[in-house]
Structure 1
Amino acid sequence: MSVERPFLPEEGRELIGLVREIADGELAPRVAEFEAEGRFPRDLFRLLGRAGLLGLPYPEEFGGGAQPYEVYLQVLEELAARWLAVAEGVSVHTLSCYPVAAYGTGTQRKRHLPDMLGGELLGAYCLSEPQSGSDAASLTTRAVADDDGWRVSGTKAWITHAGQADFYNVFCRTGGPGTSGISCLLLDAGTPGLQPQAPERTMGLRSSTVAQIVLDGAHAPADRLVGDEGGGFRIALSALDGGRLGIAACAVGLAQAALDYAVAYARERQQFGRPILEFQGLGFMLADMATQIAAARSLYLAAARMRDAGLPHSAEAAKAKLFCTDTAMRVTTDAVQVLGGAGYVTDHPVERYMREAKVLQIFEGTNQIQRLVISRSL
C-alpha cells in the first residue's frame, strides 16, 4: 500500500511511517495464518500498545498520544490494509477507553486511563444483547444496587475481545424502562460472575474473538459507575460517533488492499496476448474502484476534521460509516471478479477481503441504522 498523505503534519507523517513499518513487518506476514486458524493475536496488541498506538486520540497527561482524529483514523486505515481484525481491535479498544476519558471523574481518569492507554490492557464495549441490537434502548441487563456498589446480571452479545479483554464497559439498566434508566459500569475481566462464552464462528475476522458475555451477579464497586446514573445511553451514543469513524477508516484500508492486489494481478495476468489490465472492461472497473475509495477516504477525513474542530458530527460519522463500508463491499466483490476463478480460492486474499467487508456494514450500527440517523438529521 502506497497511499500518499501529503496534508499530514510532519509528526503525523512520522507516525504513519512507524505504523507502516510495524504493519509490513509484524502484521502482513502473519495475517493469513492467524485468520485461517482463528487465533487471536494478543501479542500484537501489546506490541502496538508499546508503540503508543492504543491511545492515540487521548491526552498525553494520561498516557495517550494527543493525536487529532484525522491522524488516528489514517493509522487505522494503514493497519486495516494489512490486517483488518487488528485494526478493528484497535478501534474497539479506543472506543472502550472513551467512557472514562469523556465522562469519568477526575479520580477515575487518573486511576484508570494510564493503564488503559499504556498498551498492556485491552478493552471491550458491552452494549448489544441477544434481543437488543439496533434497538439499544431496549437492553435488559440489570444492575441492582447493594451496600457498596452494584450487582449486574444479564447477557451481552457480539462482544469483540470477549474473553481476551482486561476491562469491560457494561451498559445496563439501573432504573426504569427507556433510555433514562441505562447506566455504564466499568468491570475488570477477573470480576466473579463475568463469564465469557464460547467464541462465535464468524464468516470473516476469524482472528478477532467475538462472543457473548454472561453476567451472573457480577459485582461492580460504587466507584465503577462511569458518568451519571441513568446517563449511560448518552455515553453509548456519543462513543458510537467515534466508533463509526473508526470502522469507516478500517473499511477504506480494506478496500485499498483489495484494489492494490487486483491491480497487481491484472498487470501480470495475460489473456489474448496481453495483460488483462489493458482491456477496457477491466480497466474501467478498476478505475471505478479507485474513485470510490478516494471518495470514501475524503468523506471520513472530512468528518474527522469536524470532530477535531469540536463541531457536531453525528450525521457526518453516519455518512462516512455508511459510504465507506458500502464501498468496501463493492470494491472487494469487484476485486474477486477481476481475479476470476483465482479470486474464489484461498490462495489469494481477495476472497477473505470480501468476507471481511460484509461485517463492516453491520457492526457499530447497521447501515440501515446509519440511514436512519442521516435522514433524521435532515
Structure 2
Amino acid sequence: MPLDAESFDLLLTTVRRYVTERLRPLEARVEQDDEVPTDIVQEMREMGLFGLSIREEYGGLGLTMGEEVRVALELGGTTPAFRSVFGTNVGIGSQGLVMAGSDAQKAQWLPRIASGEVITSFALTEPGAGSDSASVQTRAVRDGDVYRLNGSKRFITNADKASLFTVMARTGEPGAKGVSAFLVPADLPGLGIGRPEKKMGQQGAHVCDVIFDDVAVPAANRLGEEGEGFRIAMQVLDRGRLHIAAVCVGIAERLIADAVGYAKERKQFGQPLADFQLVQAMIADSKTETLAARALVIEAARLKDEGAPITLEAAAAKYFASETVGRVADRAVQIFGGAGYIADYGIERLYRDVRLFRIYEGTSQVQQLVIARETLKRGG
C-alpha cells in the first residue's frame, strides 16, 4: 500500500534537501573522479533509496509508480550519476524479479536488494542486439539442474558493482519467443566483467561488458517459464522508461532554473539577458515543453497504478521527455553563452549527461515505433 501523505511528503522534502545540499556540491568531483564517493552510497542505503519500488514486506518503501516518479523528479536536480547508484535496484535490475520471481527467489534476494547490500544489473544489450532486443544471441543450454550460459553483453549499467544480474538469454527458437530470463549471481565461475567504458557524459555511472563463459546457472534461477524472457524484459522496460522520463523532467527543471537565474544576473548592452525577447522565447519554449512532459509522466504513472497497460504511454513519456531535456539543455548553453561552454558552470556537463537519455532503455526511434504500433493496435 502507498505511504501515507505525511510520510511521503517528508520523503520528498528529505530527497529534495539531500539533492540540493549534499549532492549538487559534489557534482564536479564525481565528474573528475568518475566515481560516486563511498560515503554517499552508504547514505543512500540508510535513506532507503535502494528500495523505493520494493514492497515493505521485503524491506523496501513500496512506493507506487506515481510516488516513484515524483521522487525521480527530485533526483533530476543533480547529475544523473547519483541516481544510477541505486537506479538499477529500483528499476530494471530488480523489476524482473518483482514481476516474475517465485516466492523463494524474492525471499532470497529482495531484502538485500532493498537494503543496497546487493547491487543489481540488467543484462539485455549485446554487440548485435540493442534496440532489436528479440535478436539476443547469448545462449542458455539446459544441462540437468543447470543452464550453461555462453555469450556477451554490452554497455551494462553498474556491471562492475553488481552482485546479481538479470540476464536475457536464448533457450529456444530465433526471435522473441526463444528468449528466457535468469537471475545470475556475479560470483559464478566463468562470469567476467570488462573495464568501465570511457563515455561522453554521466561520469561516475559505469557501463561495462559482461562475458559468460560456460557459466552454470541453477535452473531454479530462471524467472518464469522458458520463452517468457522477452515479455518480462518489455514489462521491465515499460516501468524503467517511465522512471527515466521523470528524471529527464527533473533535469529540465534544474536547467531552466539555472538559465533563468543566469539570465537575470548577466547583463549585455546595459540590461539583463532576461529582458531580451529572444532569450525569453527560449525560456518560454523550455518551460512549456517541460510542463507538458511532466504532465505526460504523471498521467502515465497514474494509469500504471490503476493497472492499465502503459506500453504506449511509457514510450511516449520517455520519447517526449528525453527529447525535451535535450532541447532544454541546448537552450541553456545558448543562454549562458560562453559560460555555458565552460566546465565551472556545470551546464556543459548536464548537456553531455542528458544526451544518453535518447538512447538507453530504447532509442527515440524505437519509442516512435512502439507508439505507432500501439496506437494502430488500439485503433487510434
Same fold (TM over 0.5): yes
* Structure 2 contact 79–350 (Cα < 8 Å) conserved: no
Query: Does 2:245 align with 1:248?
Result: yes
* Structure 2 contact 20–77 (Cα < 8 Å) conserved: no
The two structures, once aligned, show a CA RMSD in angstroms of: 1.4
* Structure 1 contact 332–350 (Cα < 8 Å) conserved: yes
How many angstroms does 1:272 deviate by? 1.5
Q: For residues 61 and 350 of structure 2, what CA distance do their matches in structure 1 show?
A: 30
How many angstroms does 1:200 deviate by? 1.2
How many angstroms does 1:36 deviate by? 2.2
* Structure 1 contact 91–246 (Cα < 8 Å) conserved: no
Which of 271, 283, 287 lines up with 1:286 in the alignment? Answer: 283
**In structure 2, do the counterparts of structure 1 residues 348 and 156 end up closer, same or farther at CA, with 3 Å as the change threshold?**
same
State the partner residue of 2:178. 181
Which of 76, 83, 88 lines up with 2:79 in the alignment? Answer: 83
Deviations 1:48-83 (A, max 9, x none): 222111222221111121211111112112112112
Which of 13, 21, 29 lines up with 1:17 in the alignment? Answer: 13
SS in 1 for 2:351: helix
State the partner residue of 1:162. 159
* Structure 1 contact 183–230 (Cα < 8 Å) conserved: yes
State the partner residue of 2:219. 222
Q: For residues 105 and 42 of structure 2, what CA distance do their matches in structure 1 show?
A: 23
Deviations 1:10-35 (A, max 9, x none): 33211101111222233112121111
**In structure 2, do the counterparts of structure 1 residues 74 and 90 end up closer, same or farther at CA, with 3 Å as the change threshold?**
farther
State the partner residue of 1:117. 114
* Structure 1 contact 293–327 (Cα < 8 Å) conserved: yes
How many angstroms does 1:42 deviate by? 4.9
Report the number of matched residues.
Answer: 371
SS in 1 for 2:77: helix
* Structure 2 contact 75–250 (Cα < 8 Å) conserved: yes
How many angstroms does 1:131 deviate by? 0.6
Query: Does 2:124 align with 1:127?
Result: yes
TM-score between both structures, scaled by the size of structure 1? 0.95
Unaligned runs of 5+ in 2: 376-380
Deviations 1:157-193 (A, max 9, x none): 1100011112111110112212121111111121211
Which of 31, 38, 41 lines up with 1:35 in the alignment? Answer: 31
Unaligned runs of 5+ in 1: 1-7
* Structure 1 contact 76–249 (Cα < 8 Å) conserved: yes
Mean CA deviation greater in 299-308 or 284-293 = 284-293
Query: Does 2:345 align with 1:348?
Result: yes
TM-score between both structures, scaled by the size of structure 2? 0.94
State the partner residue of 1:261. 258
State the partner residue of 1:3. none
**In structure 2, do the counterparts of structure 1 residues 66 and 125 end up closer, same or farther at CA, with 3 Å as the change threshold?**
same
Query: Does 2:364 align with 1:367?
Result: yes
Q: For residues 21 and 247 of structure 1, what CA distance do their matches in structure 2 show?
A: 21
